[in-house]
């Protein structure tokens, strides 16, 4: 186990490294954090900490930098000390609320806001859990061979999809159909799906194929853990010193561009409510080994809202966590 002072030294190293980005030497530590002790004393502690796996040297006779273990300890400490309950929260709410362009708009703004406040990459996602409930379904005839299939779920998520039909259906018959289906508003989507399926088998005869296809498409969009995901401005990454190196930037970027990857990331870790931090190699995705991900999610109405920030391992965790707390709270206020 770590002694009191070892802990103090360790946290100081992490703190200093997060600030400066440069390897931390014993002298700096003695001057800035542990004024009572001399550099030599701290050197000894650091040597021990290195042996235990908390610190490492980029090369012999250089300062120490934290390992993932050290970050882990640091973050856990921060999380424990985090002010529980909502005192000074919100404050950006108004700015979010005044736009009334639905959940998607709010998410877009939230991810942008996260990017701004944290200076890293913000993201916001809504995941439809399996229990998502139908609010309304509608078929809107567009022309002789197309109609628009529109699904609104409880929680305000809207999906639409153009469906082409080999035959002409009148708007009336479509309305008739939607009226029938809408009697199931409030049911879980999975149930509604079953019902539609049997409708198709019975009623539609030769058009069954098209319908089934459309239904499958839609199902893919909704069922399981399909997420709507938005990332805020990536341009900020250019200002983060850790990503000046083109290789790292590239690694992160390639992940961010594949929505699928990112969605998997979220669903993998965001199972629980509250804040989660994934540091460097703790991450399953190798491209993210130099990054940390902070996630915060809350569940209601069969919808999980997840906010997250992706940044370098040496990100300012305190700040990011508090920002996430607040913005999530604001988003919740909207729904």
Partner DNA sequence: ATTAGCACTCGTATTCATTGAGTGCTAAAC
Partner DNA sequence: GTTTAGCACTCAATGAATACGAGTGCTAAT
Beta bridge partners of 304: 127, 299
Q: How many residues bind DNA (CB under 7 A)?
A: 26
By beta-carbon proximity to DNA, the closer residue of 50 and 289 is: 50
Measured CA to CA, the distance from residue 209 to residue 201 in angstroms comes to 10
Per partner kind, with CB cut-offs from 5 to 8 A, the member of DNA, a copy of itself, none near residue 233 is: a copy of itself
By beta-carbon proximity to a copy of itself, the closer residue of 231 and 283 is: 231
* Closest distance to DNA from the beta carbon of 35 (Å): 10
Per partner kind, with CB cut-offs from 5 to 8 A, the member of a copy of itself, DNA, none near residue 109 is: none
* Closest distance to DNA from the beta carbon of 248 (Å): 15
Measured CA to CA, the distance from residue 149 to residue 293 in angstroms comes to 36
Per partner kind, with CB cut-offs from 5 to 8 A, the member of DNA, a copy of itself, none near residue 81 is: none
Quick one: angle between helices 259-269 and 246-257, nearest 10? 80
Q: Enumerate residues 14-73 that contact DNA by CB under 7 A.
A: 22-28, 36-41, 43-44, 46-47, 50, 57-64
Burial of 113 (0-12, 13-18, 19+ CB in 10 A): buried
Per partner kind, with CB cut-offs from 5 to 8 A, the member of a copy of itself, DNA, none near residue 88 is: none
Q: Backbone phi, then psi, for 166, in 5-degree steps?
A: -70, -15
From 16, 67, 68, select the one nearest 42 (Cα to Cα): 16
Rounded (10°) CA dihedral 188, 193, 194, 198: 140
* Closest distance to a copy of itself from the beta carbon of 3 (Å): 44
Per partner kind, with CB cut-offs from 5 to 8 A, the member of a copy of itself, DNA, none near residue 63 is: DNA
Estimate to the nearest angstrom the gap between the alpha carbon of 114 and the chain centroid.
11
Q: Within a 10 A sphere around the Cβ of 83, how many other Cβ atoms?
A: 10
* Closest distance to DNA from the beta carbon of 30 (Å): 8
By beta-carbon proximity to DNA, the closer residue of 38 and 131 is: 38
Residues that bind DNA (CB under 7 A): 22-28, 36-41, 43-44, 46-47, 50, 57-64
């Amino acid at each position: 186990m770590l002694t009191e002072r070892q802990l103090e030294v360790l946290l100081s190293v992490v703190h200093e490294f997060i600030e400066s980005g440069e390897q931390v030497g014993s002298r700096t530590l003695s001057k800035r954090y542990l004024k009572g002790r001399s550099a030599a004393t701290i050197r000894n502690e650091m040597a021990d900490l290195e042996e235990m796996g908390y610190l490492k040297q980029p090369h012999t006779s250089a300062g120490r930098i934290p390992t993932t273990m050290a970050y882990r300890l640091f973050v856990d400490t921060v999380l424990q000390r985090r002010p529980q309950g909502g005192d000074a929260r919100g404050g950006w709410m108004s700015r979010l609320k005044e736009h009334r362009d639905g959940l998607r708009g709010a998410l877009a703004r939230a991810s942008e806001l996260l990017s701004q406040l944290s200076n890293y990459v913000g993201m916001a996602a809504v995941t439809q859990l399996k229990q998502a409930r139908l609010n309304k379904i509608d078929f809107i005839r567009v022309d002789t061979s197309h109609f628009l299939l529109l699904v609104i779920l409880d929680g305000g998520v809207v999906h639409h999809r153009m469906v082409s039909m080999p035959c002409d259906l009148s708007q009336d018959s479509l309305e008739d159909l939607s009226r029938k289906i809408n009697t199931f508003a409030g049911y879980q989507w999975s149930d509604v799906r079953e019902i539609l399926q049997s409708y198709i088998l019975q009623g539609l005869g030769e058009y069954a194929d098209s319908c089934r296809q459309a239904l499958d498409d839609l199902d893919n969009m909704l069922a399981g853990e399909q997420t709507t995901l938005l990332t805020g401005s990536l341009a900020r990454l250019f200002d983060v010193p850790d990503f000046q190196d083109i290789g790292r930037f590239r690694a992160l970027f390639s992940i961010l561009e594949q929505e699928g990857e990112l969605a998997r990331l979220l669903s993998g870790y965001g199972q629980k409510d509250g804040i989660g931090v994934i540091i460097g190699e703790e991450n399953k995705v190798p491209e993210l080994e130099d990054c940390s991900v902070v996630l915060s999610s809350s569940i209601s109405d069969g919808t999980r809202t997840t906010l997250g920030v992706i940044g370098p391992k040496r990100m300012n965790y305190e700040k990011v966590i508090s920002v996430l707390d607040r913005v999530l709270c604001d988003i919740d206020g909207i729904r």
